[in-house]
Structure 1
Amino acid sequence: MMNSKRSNGTIDIIIVEDNALLRAEVSAYLQRVGMAVRTAECGAELDQLLAEAPTDVVVLDLGLPAEDGTVIAQRLRDLYPAMGIVMVTARGQVAERVLGYATGADIYLVKPVDYSELEAAIRAILRGRTDQTATSSADDPAAAQQTLWRLDTHARSLTAPSGETVTLTHTETDILSCLCEAAGQTVSRAVITARLGRDATISNHRSVDQIVSRLRRKIASRTNSEVTLRSAYGHGYYLAQTILEN
């Protein structure tokens, strides 16, 4: 999980808003409630800030110059799957909200937004992303190990935290191993296809999608639970929870 909270527990926020007055007002409010805030006017400035240091949550306007906020959100979700994204926009139609969530928003707020509601949205996202495994590990490492999925590449099996084991094919094992090595980052279909020793063709990319879909169903049916194997829209796949590989 991305965790850019500073050593004193401060939440790090990046505001992306081209209206200078609004940007300053939002920044001032979030700083007053104890958050560390950086600001950007556009997607290019946001990229520069993220290259300098990660963040916990991006507060993203959609009507930005040069690059629309939905495009930026989709790129962020591909590159930083654990990052929180709050879209703040005047676009309030149902279809526009659906598009916002489809392209990566965790929460979609329509202007004018009460700043206390924005603060609550940010804190809600971070509560949802709290890494319970890390907390358990600090208290009892052995207990934390038992709450994780485990991939045995030699036996070609995946064991759920509850103890049920799923037998995997060579291909399923290779895909999960590839995703484990990425440690939560998105792995493109091209990379997965290459890992399987196949050419990067559209048909092979679709084959990967079919294998992943069957794998999800297999795991759910045989363990009565789901490993969080998620798709990054239009790009590839990532693991949103830890799988220990051995």
Structure 2
Amino acid sequence: MRILIIEDDAAIADAIGAALAHAGHAVDRLDNGRQADAALRDHPYDLVVLDLGLPDVDGVELLRRLRSRADAVPVLVATAREELEERVRTLDLGADDYLVKPFALREFEARARALLRRRTTQGVPELQLGRMRLDLPRRRAQVDDTALELTPREFGLLEALASRLDRVMSREQLIEALCSWDTTLTDNGLDIAVYRLRRKLDGSGVRIRTVRGLGYLLEAGDGAGG
């Protein structure tokens, strides 16, 4: 999943960014609202972590602009503003969750997982695809009782495809989902990741199908063994 952190406190951005990256997500970071507004217009995200006290455009205004464009990306507000009226106003404007600083990193991670789970699988923490079970919060996959040994990139690829089961994802969409601004993935790199993931899914009842000229889709069922 691709996540945007909008936070001008470098220490907080470093901590939550490292936690999200360690969980296998692609993470972009910005420290001002003006650049964040442009990024949200230009890139699709699976989660936005938003500070309200930004140095230029206030986070509440940024949220208002986001929702006025009918962008439904989940927004987790992380702010020092603890007043009840502020929490109510921000949630009414379309924030999905509200966390007051200082907060425990474990609680932040749990709230982020919940919003990502709601985004990708309508709140279902596990997906059963053929003989494969995909545990999204723990980022694990297994076939029957055997764990699949997947790299973070392979799991990210599988998660992206599984969240859009039986729907084609273009190469550009997959690269966008797997990479942050400071990482790159070439077309050849994507081909290698798909090839390696296909080999690991062999016999699982799940397969990655190439749709020529369009991209890839994930299929599950009796006819998707390899």
In the alignment, residue 70 of structure 1 is paired with which amino acid?
V
CA 1:80 to 1:41, structure 2 compared with 1: closer, same or farther past 3 Å?
farther
Aligned residue for 1:129, secondary structure, equals helix
Alignment partner of 1:63 is 2:71: no
In the alignment, residue 9 of structure 2 is paired with which amino acid?
N
Alignment partner of 1:115 is 2:105: yes
Alignment partner of 1:47 is 2:37: yes
- Equivalent positions of 1:35-184 (< 5 A) are 35-130=25-120
Q: Which moved more, 1:109-118 or 1:123-132?
A: 123-132
Give me the TM-score of the superposition, normalised by structure 1. Answer: 0.47
Identity, % of aligned pairs?
43
Report the CA distance between 1:131 and its aligned residue.
5.4
- Equivalent positions of 1:5-16 (< 5 A) are 11-16=1-6
Aligned residue for 1:91, secondary structure, equals coil
Report the CA distance between 1:27 and its aligned residue.
0.9
2: CA distance between counterparts of 1:107 and 1:78? 18
1: CA distance between counterparts of 2:70 and 2:28? 18
Aligned residue for 2:62, secondary structure, equals helix
Gapped regions of structure 1 (runs ≥ 5): 1-10, 133-137, 140-246
Q: How much is the aligned-residue C-alpha RMSD, in angstroms?
A: 2.2
Aligned residue for 1:130, secondary structure, equals helix
Report the CA distance between 1:119 and its aligned residue.
1.7
In the alignment, residue 29 of structure 2 is paired with which amino acid?
T
Deviations 1:75-116 (A, max 9, x none): 112224320000001111211110110122100000012222
CA 1:22 to 1:129, structure 2 compared with 1: closer, same or farther past 3 Å?
closer
2: CA distance between counterparts of 1:80 and 1:13? 18
2: CA distance between counterparts of 1:50 and 1:96? 23
2: CA distance between counterparts of 1:129 and 1:98? 22
2: CA distance between counterparts of 1:13 and 1:130? 13
Gapped regions of structure 2 (runs ≥ 5): 123-128, 131-226
Aligned residue for 2:120, secondary structure, equals coil
Aligned residues: 125
Alpha-carbon contact 2:3-2:28 (below 8 Å) kept = yes
2: CA distance between counterparts of 1:29 and 1:124? 15
Give me the TM-score of the superposition, normalised by structure 2. Answer: 0.51
